[in-house]
Amino acid sequence: MIVLFNKPFGVVCQFSKHEIHPTLKDYLNIPNIYPAGRLDTDSEGLLVLTDNGKIQHEISSPNSHKYKGYWVQVEGDIDNEAIQKLQNGLNLKDFTTLPARVEKINEPEIWERSTPIRFRKNIPTSWVKIQIREGKNRQVRKMTAAVGFPTLRLIRYHVDDYYLNKLRPGDYQIIK
């Protein structure tokens, strides 16, 4: 079984109880499924869950090189130089990223976030689409910060061949 879930902002990617935040158990009452990968509590979007260990490993293993796609709202008007650096791969403190697919986009057609992004009258924001083949801890956030454009909002819209499509936050779809 494969379940596509649109993880809302503030939800922890675990089924066990959390002291502060809601967890997957608050949204999914499907026995014996487990996340294939994770999203940080402050990230939103597609989470693939499965009861198949092989599929879980294929998706979540850093060695699988499956593309994961993100819509990222950044602080500032991101420029071509920053996009080029993201595309080429970056040497971050903890690791060096693989080359990524990156392009500046218009704001995607998405839902309002439950907790609004901080608004600053004199600082613009912009959106980029980033596709990476790895998924280290807070990688996309570290990448955009390293080129001078901190992430304000991060939404994963695809993992390999699985897409968020029109799922609303908190909704899920069983596809197999």
Tokens of 114: 């439950």
The position carrying tokens 């304000």 is: 152
Count Cα neighbours of 20 within 13 Å in the Cβ-side half-sphere. Answer: 3
Catalytic positions, please?
A: 40
How far apart (Å, rounded) are the C-alpha atoms in residues 43 and 163? 16
CB neighbours of 153 closer than 8 A, spacing ≥ 6?
44, 72, 73, 113, 117
